[in-house]
Chains A and B, each alone.
Chain A
Amino acid sequence: MTSALRPLIVAMCFAAPAGADQLRWDTFNGNLANTKFADVDTFTPANVAELERVWEVHTGDVSDGSGDLPETVWSATPIYANETLYLGTPFYRILALDPATGAERWSYDSKSALEALTQPALKNRGVAYWESGQTGPCEKRVYLGTMDAELHAVDADTGELCADFAQGGVLNVNQWNTVNDKFPFSLLQPPTVVGDTLMLGWAGNDWAYSVAPPGNLMAIDARTGTLNWDLSFIPDALIPVTGTANIWTSMSADPELGLVYVPVSSPSPNYWGGNRTDPIPLATSVTAVDVETGEVRWSQQIVRHDIWDYDTPSAATLVDIERDGQTIPALVQTTKMGFIFVLNRETGEPIFPIEDRPVPASDAEGEVAAPTQPFVLTPPPTNDPFKMPAVWWLADALSFGQCSREREQYRYEGIYTPPSVQGTFLFPGTAGANNWGGAAVDPRTGILYLNSMRVVQIIRLIPREEYEQIDGGSGNEAGFYPQEGAPYGIELREWRNDLGLPCWEPPYGTFSAYDLSTGERLYEVPFGLSQQWGFYGLSDWGSPTLGGPVVTAGGIVFIGASMDARVRALDAATGAELWSDLVEAPSVAIPAVYTHQGVDYVVFVAGGNSILKPQVSDQVVAYRLGQP
């Protein structure tokens, strides 16, 4: 194929609307390339302040954890397809809504047990959509996963189960959980639909056990539920002593190359690796897998011997970039570490250099930390890998020097300082600089847009005997974790003083734009408002974020993600805030932008996540420009 034609074909495959003026948003990331690019120019910096809330819906599927049910964490991307808006809920139901009014067309209840089997909360990131191209019942389907490892397939028009899929429309994915089956395969992330294949990973609680189910990617026939192939990321010889390296987040795919790009997480347990000192090259990696055969085409490990839970957190973003007069099929992998890996998606070769740099050794019993790690300094990382943020004078003064004393007390020698009994600063924290929201990219310009957070945590290895005496519990990315089978449990907490103030200086979150052709950062601005006890921080302080951005052809970035429960429109050229609206909980999700009956909408789910703050909701809110 000529380089001149390639961008056009890629744009058609990845970012193109189904019809001339009917923009679909039919995957978790808007499209298979994970560009999160909406090809609509209706919203512009000049008019976006006129956005109006046109409808809102409360699903009723919410829990703050104070009653019999665990709290909910809701991060569903609304799926617009089949002229309907589909949502999965944390009570494992599907709602089909009228995209223009929010009126319910049908709902489906999986009747899944509402128990936090593998996670500290009832979590859901939505549903997946597939259509065969033929007409008739179940030729268009919506798929919903559950915490207890069931995948439900229902007719997209009626909500009735599709009887030809697995057992009466329900696939028991746990039938393949046969090795080290300490917990069920929780299906919190909807499958990624590539052609007629459902690419499926799962989530577990790998912080709890050393020996755990080995992570795998399952390719499932979208019509029948048959397992076409599966691929494990743990070498056979190590399966008796470790596990996971699972895929808990979304994936991207290039149908033209026949590849799915798989973000693989860390092996178990998360924070000590004495049981797995032999190489596990596919763990904590981005790996290209043949859609038809399950063969690994190439893999780039982004952390060696991961003992920080720096899972590859999001689908890679696929975009063609121009460099030195050539069009390069690129893949951009954002990471928890803040490094932005830019690779050739055909070959896996780096487009910007990956440097092997020496990193500190571990002093923990049995641990052998990797002597070097891959660093990517172009594009500039979202978080400084060499220096953690300084002590914040205000928090230090109000705590009479507590923050300064702790800065001296705990170990920090750069990003890959190993966990220790002494206590180690973890920066970025285990939720990462970037998480599952990933980045957005405008394929016309090759400019990447990315929200990131700057949170410092303290991780402490606790010798087993001491750990057994502790009466603590694990929370959402914080608390005590047993790591059964390891000589250590761990305690993980944010670095705050006794008043609850962050000990590190702001900003706590930023929004950035990068030119992928040059690797240059175009801007970096504080993003969102942090909040403590209800009080908002200053705008310069920014906010930690969970959830991702969407960029539109009109030069607008739509994003929720911040702690302050606002949804925002930013000027893509500068990152300046142009519009915001208060919703009922942080919108820890990726918004959907779609065109329905000639009108462009942006829809946010406001579900909340206790990683940011204890505020949950079941709200869905839709906006459009006012009537002319």
Chain B
Amino acid sequence: MMKSFIPVIVLGAVGCALSAYAYLSNDTGVAGTPGALLALIGAAAVTVGSVIAALTALGRPLFFLLAFLIALAAVLTALAAFFLMQYGLTVVMALAFVGLLVAVLLPAPQRRLI
């Protein structure tokens, strides 16, 4: 397992919780909207992608492709959250993006612990 992905997984999970709240709760201004659902899917994609990256021994090209897709999901979800005025989710997704960069850019021996 790549422990360096754990912060990204945790942030993704927090993002899922925040976006689920935004989608379901009446006091967010975006309950039940397609935009909030999109943010929930985006946060879920970050979480699931990070779990796959952490647990699966991928070849280099596939690993970087997956990392790119997770980064894209994090950035787009942060952007969506900004326009949904869900600023907590924006911050969490921005942190997830930073965490992802750290996880990917760390030297390989430290990345591959298993």
Give the B-binding residues of A (Cβ under 8 A).
533-536, 564-566, 582, 584
Contacts and interface: CB of A to CB of B under 8 A. Distances in A.
A564 B29 contact: yes
Contacts of B83: 535-536
Interface stretch (B31-39, B58-66, B97-105): B31-39
Interface centre among B29, B36, B85 (most CB of A within 10 A): B29
Interface in B27-71: 27-30, 33-36, 38
A535 B36 CA distance: 8
Contacts of B26: 584
Q: Binding site of B, secondary structure by majority: helix, strand, loop or mixed? A: helix
Nearest to B86: A534
Nearest to B85: A536
25 contacts: A533-B33, A533-B34, A533-B35, A533-B38, A534-B30, A534-B33, A534-B34, A534-B35, A534-B36, A534-B84, A535-B35, A535-B80, A535-B83, A535-B84, A536-B83, A536-B84, A536-B85, A564-B29, A565-B29, A566-B29, A582-B27, A582-B28, A582-B29, A584-B26, A584-B27
Interface residues of B, number: 14
Nearest to A617: B26
Nearest to B28: A582
Contacts of B34: 533-534
Contacts of B85: 536
A533 to B, nearest CB: 4
A584 B28 CA distance: 9
Contacts, number: 25
Given A533-B33, A534-B35, A582-B29, 17 more contacts: A533-B34, A533-B35, A533-B38, A534-B30, A534-B33, A534-B34, A534-B36, A534-B84, A535-B35, A535-B80, A535-B84, A536-B83, A536-B84, A536-B85, A564-B29, A566-B29, A582-B28
A564 B29 CA distance: 7
Contacts of A565: 29
A350 to B, nearest CB: 43
Nearest to B34: A533
A498 to B, nearest CB: 16
A565 B32 CA distance: 14
A289 B57 CA distance: 85
A311 B110 CA distance: 73
Contacts of B80: 535
A564 B30 CA distance: 9
Contacts of B84: 534-536
A535 B38 CA distance: 11
Interface centre among A534, A535, A564, A582 (most CB of B within 10 A): A534
Contacts of A534: 30, 33-36, 84
Nearest to B81: A535
A71 B50 CA distance: 43
A584 B85 CA distance: 15
Contacts of B28: 582
A565 B28 CA distance: 10
Contacts of A564: 29
A533 B33 CA distance: 6
A534 B84 CA distance: 6
B56 to A, nearest CB: 34
Interface in B64-114: 80, 83-85
Interface string B6-34: 00000000000000000000111110011
Nearest to B27: A582
